[in-house]
Structure 1
């Protein structure tokens, strides 16, 4: 009765609480510590007992279920994703640890007792792919020969595309976007189907220049099997191998959408398109790096594949962390450095939206001053101009769409029939600010909004979005529709004018055209010039060339990586014979 069950869903007088209090098994006023062993076990573990519940909420026949099986069924073993709020509640009462019986292998003792050459299936899937390949080829049993051949071929493909550092027991949720895409490619490369159309969206993401040629070889293999390959790409080395190129532009958003060029790579180089011009350009190596104003160091770490190494990041300069995929870059910065410097501002490609209603205006905090401006201009409450409050369309509740649940199929979203996607009631759209309704304002692109607003607070945030290269995005565009690169640049805009901070950027060139590289570099340099320490994890050679300080990890990925091969200025890296990055500078 005093609330011994701490989980909020089981609070006193709730439905679940009543199912225990009125089950007839317990004295609700008795302290838990005074329960007999039988009573305590019944409360926690009892199950499959028929009871008649007579609660203030009504009477019914029910099956009694103890706290632990009920909690497990409702939250731990439930299929599908938990909402963020539920996950936060559950996390307070749970922790994840390897299973004691199978030690995290997920398999029964019977399965683990079966061995080939002294190793069980869990041992095989825990091996790095390059090691697994060697182990598989040592299996000489003739019965296994066709299976070994098939598996070895697939493993070799994964190694060829630069994933030799991975293990087969790695959870797919832990893969980066580029890794996931490459695994999917291998799956299709092993398919016997031909005459298919494949569409790849930036397959070079996350690849070191050394590995791009491996990607190219796979794309060519897929083509040569009799398939049509369509690649959306910015990487010059991937563009170079195309049989046919379609260049779209000239710029982004409303200033794009036109075919600029169609033809071969040599002809593209001669064309006067933006892509053609920048394919012929390379940024020079930084021969006058800034001097560090001290260093930020971490403890030595052997986390994952790191080999007892220490991160030593110079202050108030641009440091670029390089190395092939799987060499330990993300572990060194995200798992080691960030743990000791948790106040660093991380700008990565994870989704920026807090919920389904978020957009650039709400994310950057300019929605409140916009609402106030509308309220003041029309002498009404600012809350009228919120699609989460009074002004929301009553039919779609301010979402702009309605959802049709199709049972076993994916649900379908259709524009709201009442507001036609505008999210607001018609009466709200009658109020104007300089001739535009709140819906018109949210449909403005960032570039257009710069010319529309005069409020300095609003203009500062909009100018930052324009500065990072997302001037073509509209203020009301759902954040869930932005790409990883766009999300990253929106986060950068939000953090742009802070001073004395540590910035960590994870592959900021993702999704950027070659012509935008100089632009993102100028933003990074301006951050450093204001006294910030900027750390960039990057494969793009132009960004690496412009670093003040480079930390190169390797020499390879996985167990063959995790060592610091070089620390210092870009020109000095050129002399390092061990570094794969040096070859591409």
Structure 2
């Protein structure tokens, strides 16, 4: 079959959609945020393909595979096994690295176990996740938890005034008398006026205390000694309170024994061609690939071939600036997505269905060509490649474009265009209109109220960078992927107080919805109570009005042992969660159960209570008016989560604040970016300072101030190439993207 034939797709907001998606091509799906693209591609096509494949396995295996919810659709034909490559950050734990997640470390370990001098043992002797290879001091983590002594005391206070900031050590605390009442310290003099010997005796005890004129008791413990005994040298399970204390008063430091290599002495001193495995783990992948290419030992040829292929794949997709020792928890969403594609580049499978979710996220315009080349390579090997994307450069390489819309939520879910990119540019759809809209560079930027200085930053690849961030304006950090933008932002956060608005999930609780998040549940219940002259408790699904059979959940869960648990709609309330008596009470023709189905935009107009409208207005303002009030926040994308957080800040913000945003255009259609920029402008107009890490050219054009890093990734970057007004930018990769056709000097 030459097409994926879809009939009567009704998932989420899809309106009985019929469409034929060509197989063996790159097909890009476009449309406004919330128009139904993801509902079609991920929740219908990928979900059905995943479900049918999973059903071919026995129950024991199915229980350990990803769960797929079967879509609401009349018929789908022409599916293949599906590979979904999404934007979820790889995360993992402290033991997960770029090397382990790509299996490159497995091949490197095997190589060292066969060729290293001296011979150490099998490959597990080079594994930091195995007792045979790990450093015992840090248990293979490369870091140890150390006391952040500089945070323990406030030098401008005396002991009596609470100079020791640790819980239980301040005046009136459990341990206070061990320092204030022993006659060795002046409790009323600020610590800054003490001698260094006195401060060392207070903190470290031991020989420092023995040198004091008035020696403490024999059982005296310094503040640091006592803290570490209580918090660090204990095997007890930590309470939440202790965990909070550890987070405040400790820091991770490089392991003093392995110096970050994670391995024991034997493994970290063995060499191949004069290099230890730790040195290779710290090399940039592009440099490591060149070194491995020089190895020709025939006894390990299969290992070398596999390692070369894996490293070459990472270089091909623009990740050559990473190193194998990089923790996966530090990777961006875009880097995570590209890491996931590495294993598929070398695959011999054909006629697969690859589904990508915005593969250009985290990519500078300069780097997008590498990703589009990858998409074409997967297609040319005989696969079908479906891409949800907003980037015009990806649309340009598509064999076909499908636009879903015309608008978001209730007003989307239909097929509005299917054809080539050239045909789309001549169409009258929202995407076509956005593509043709001129977006000039800001020529009259706002003037800063002041400056925040980042001094001598050396984090990651930053080359002793000093930067001045203007306050009271919109600043954008730009540069190719890996140039040091996130590192510079992290230094800003370390040196100045700020609120970070990132793409991490808003909630892990499936009961959390826009209703609970905005706090409108109580005003809604009161509105129903007022209108119908009944108690407000009737309208709580956790109280008097709840369906007795499902306890207000709307579903019944049945545990089926080794099979998947089954969640079925409650047969008493039919998923409505309330008793029939409660559902008879209406506001504007709506029952309390109908409220969940309203979009945020609809609720603002239909629910007359001012408290409800004011709480929801900011979510509508950031372009999330299409979300339904009852939609679990766990289902939101990273970009949607970030916009929910922006809305919360708009609602709660008061004093002038520094906001740092990480790629807020993620998941946004070209026309929605204008709404986002209006929101950011509102924050600035309210007196706040906004700094954005961003690749989107429309955001860059609207910046008041630009800081461009580079010139390349990793060790080839880490320098500030430009600070100033966007209109004055020349000679960088960002300048070339803003002014196509202009060559970069050098």
TM range (shorter): 0.7 to 0.9
Change (3 A) 1:410 1:322: farther
User: Do structure 1's residue 341 and structure 2's residue 341 form an aligned pair?
Assistant: no
- Equivalent residue in structure 1 for 2:734, among 569, 581, 585: 581
Post-superposition Cα deviations, 1:26-46, rounded to whole Å, max 9, x if no partner, equal: xxxxxxx9xxxxxxxxxx9xx
Partner of residue 470, structure 1: 624
Instruction: Select which of 664, 667, 674 maps to 1:508.
Output: 664
Q: CA distance change for structure 1 residues 303 and 419 in 2, over 3 Å: closer, same or farther? A: farther
Question: In the TM superposition, what is the alpha-carbon distance from 1:392 to its structure 2 partner?
Answer: 4.1
Q: Measure, in 2, the Cα distance between the counterparts of 1:97 and 1:519.
A: 43
Q: Which residue of 2 aligns with 1:458?
A: 612
- Deviation track 1:174-233 (CA, whole Å, cap 9, x = no partner) reads 322211111111111111111111111111111110111000011111111111111111
Q: Is the contact made by 2:661 and 2:693 (CA closer than 8 Å) also made in structure 1? A: yes
**Normalising by the residue count of structure 1, what TM-score does the alignment of the two structures yield?**
0.79
Indicate whether 1:323 and 2:479 are aligned: yes
In structure 2, distance between residues paired with 1:98 and 1:426: 63
Q: Deviations over 1:392-436 (max 9, x none)?
A: 444444444344445566655443444333333444334333432
* Secondary structure of 1:162's aligned partner: coil
Does the 8 A contact of 1:461 with 1:493 survive in 2?
no
The counterpart of 1:539, out of the listed 695, 709, 723, is 695
Q: Give yes or no for contact 2:410–2:626 (8 Å, CA) kept in 1.
A: yes
Distance 1:119 1:559 in 2: 19
Give the structure 2 partner of residue 364 of structure 1. 518
More relative contact order, 1 or 2 (CA 8 Å, 6+ apart): 2
Shift of 1:360: 0.8
Question: Contact 2:508 / 2:634 at 8 angstroms: preserved in 1?
Answer: no
Conserved? CA contact 1:461–1:494, under 8 Å: no
Of the structure 1 ranges 537-546 and 526-535, higher mean CA displacement relative to structure 2 is found in 526-535
User: Does residue 731 of structure 2 align to residue 566 of structure 1?
Assistant: no
Shift of 1:572: 0.8
The aligned counterpart of 2:24 is none
Q: Residue 438 of structure 1 aligns to a residue in which SS?
A: coil
Query: Contact between 1:311 and 1:337, CA under 8 Å: does it hold in 2?
Result: no
Query: In structure 2, what is the equivalent of residue 375 of structure 1?
Result: 529
Q: 1:225 to 1:88 in 2, by over 3 A?
A: farther
* C-alpha distance in 1 between matches for 2:254 and 2:581: 58
| Among 213, 232, 254, the residue aligned to 2:410 | 254
Distance 1:376 1:232, change over 3 A: same
Partner of 2:493, secondary structure, is helix
Superposed CA offset, 1:536-585 (max 9, x none):
11100111011110011111222222211111001111x2x2x2111101
How many angstroms apart in 2 are the aligned matches of 1:504 and 1:541? 18
Change (3 A) 1:150 1:477: same
The 1:390/1:207 distance shift into structure 2, 3 A limit, reads farther
> Following the alignment from structure 2 to structure 1, what is the Cα–Cα distance between the partners of residues 685 and 467?
23
Give yes or no for contact 2:474–2:691 (8 Å, CA) kept in 1: yes
Q: 1:509-528 maps to which residues of 2 (within 5 A)?
A: 509-528=665-684
1:68 positional shift: 6.5
Cα 1:422/1:270, change in 2 over 3 Å? same
Equivalent residues of 1:245, 1:262 under 8 A apart: yes
Deviations 1:96-129 (A, max 9, x none): 6666665554445444454211223333223221
Distance 1:516 1:560 in 2: 34
* Cα pair 1:114 1:120 within 8 Å, conserved: yes
SS of 1:485's partner is: helix
* Map of 1:481 onto structure 2: 635
Structure 2 match to 1:27: none
Map 1:61-140; keep pairs closer than 5 Å: 71=237, 102=258, 104-140=260-296
| CA separation of 1:252 and 1:170: change in aligned 2, threshold 3 A | same
Report matched runs for 1:384-403 at 5 Å: 384-403=538-557
Per the alignment, residue 312 of structure 1 pairs with: 468
User: Does residue 338 of structure 2 align to residue 182 of structure 1?
Assistant: yes
- Structure 1, unmatched stretches of 5+, are 1-5, 7-32, 34-43, 45-66, 76-85
SS in 1 for 2:483: coil
- The CA deviation string for residues 1-45 of structure 1, in whole angstroms up to 9 with x for no partner, is xxxxx9xxxxxxxxxxxxxxxxxxxxxxxxxx9xxxxxxxxxx9x
Match of 1:173 in 2: 329
Secondary structure in structure 2 of the residue aligned to 1:163:
coil
Q: What is the aligned partner in structure 1 of residue 308 from structure 2?
A: 152
Q: Does 1:293 align with 2:446?
A: no
1:368-414 superposed Cα distances (whole Å, 9 cap, x missing partner):
22222233334444344333444444444444434444556665544
Tell me if the contact between 2:284 and 2:323 (Cα under 8 Å) persists in the aligned partners: yes
Return the match for 1:142 from 275, 298, 302. 298
Whether the 8 Å contact between 1:360 and 1:490 is mirrored in structure 2 is no
Query: Is 1:529 aligned to residue 685 of structure 2?
Result: yes
Name the SS for the 2:417 alignment partner. strand
Q: CA deviation digits over 1:59-79, x for unaligned, max 9?
A: xxxxxxxx96775xxx9xxxx
Q: CA deviation at 1:271?
A: 1.3
Q: Closer, same or farther in 2 for the Cα pair 1:426/1:346, shift >3 Å?
A: farther
d(CA) in 1 for partners of 2:336, 2:410: 32
- Aligned-pair CA distance for 1:351: 1.0
Partner of residue 200, structure 1 = 356
Distance 2:492 2:678 in 1: 25
1:253 shift after superposition: 0.7
The secondary structure found in structure 1 opposite 2:659 is strand
Q: Note the aligned Cα RMSD (angstroms).
A: 2.7
- Contact preservation (8 Å) 1:207, 1:324: yes
Question: C-alpha separation between the residues in 1 aligned to 2:562 and 2:274?
Answer: 45
- Using the alignment, how far apart are the partners of 1:417 and 1:88 within structure 2? 44
Residues 87 and 216 (structure 1), Cα distance of their counterparts in 2 relative to 1, 3 Å cut: farther
May I ask how many residue pairs the two structures share in their alignment? 504
TM-score, structure 2 normalization? 0.63
- How many angstroms apart in 2 are the aligned matches of 1:410 and 1:118? 53
Q: 1:53 is matched with which residue?
A: none
Question: Who is 1:493 aligned against?
Answer: 647
Which runs of no fewer than 5 residues in structure 2 stay unpaired?
1-167, 169-218, 220-229, 739-746
CA change 1:299–1:236 in 2 (3 A) is: same
Structure 1 window deviating more from structure 2 (114-123 vs 482-491): it is: 114-123
With 121-130 and 547-556 compared, the bigger mean Cα shift is at 121-130
Could you say which residue in structure 2 is the equivalent of 1:224?
A: 380
**2:546, 2:552 within 8 Å by CA — same for their partners in 1?**
yes
Say which SS state the counterpart of residue 455 (structure 2) adopts: coil
Taking structure 1 as reference, are residues 255 and 141 closer, same or farther at Cα in structure 2, changes over 3 Å only? same
Q: Partners of 2:525 and 2:585 in 1: how far apart?
A: 11
1:481 Cα offset (Å): 1.1
